[in-house]
Amino acid sequence: MTDWVIAGVDLKKAAKLFATKFACGSSVTKNPQGLDEIVVQGDVSGDIVEMIEDQVGLLKGVPADNVVEVEEKKKKGDN
């Protein structure tokens, strides 16, 4: 999830919200383009999109059009 700074969302607070809500790992990292993004572990992307669409809490103002779900593939040898 990127481009949330435009909507005035504190990415660290959003990552903490997701970690707490879904009992999962969530952090702010830099993507290959050098932009901050939120990385969430676990199968909760649909739930996060729903929270954004419903404009829950600090997610008010985040345009749903700016949300891109990216599923990372397991590395060779991972089980």
* CATH code of the domain in which 23 resides: 3.30.780.10
Q: Which of 1 and 30 is assigned the larger pLDDT?
A: 30
Which amino acid is residue 50, in one-letter code? E
- Predicted confidence at residue 28, as pLDDT, reads 93
Q: Are 16 and 31 in contact (CB under 8 A)?
A: no
Identify the pLDDT of residue 72: 67
In a domain, 72, yes or no: no
For residue 52, tell me if it sits in a domain: yes
Q: Is residue 13 part of a domain?
A: yes
* Rounded distance between C-alpha atoms, residue 23 and residue 13, angstroms: 15
Mean pLDDT taken over the chain: 81
pTM: 0.75
Give me the number of domains the chain comprises: 1
Asked if residue 77 belongs to a domain, the reply is no
Does residue 33 sit within a domain? Answer: yes
Amino acid 37: pLDDT: 84
Which residue segment(s) compose the domain that 52 sits in? 5-64
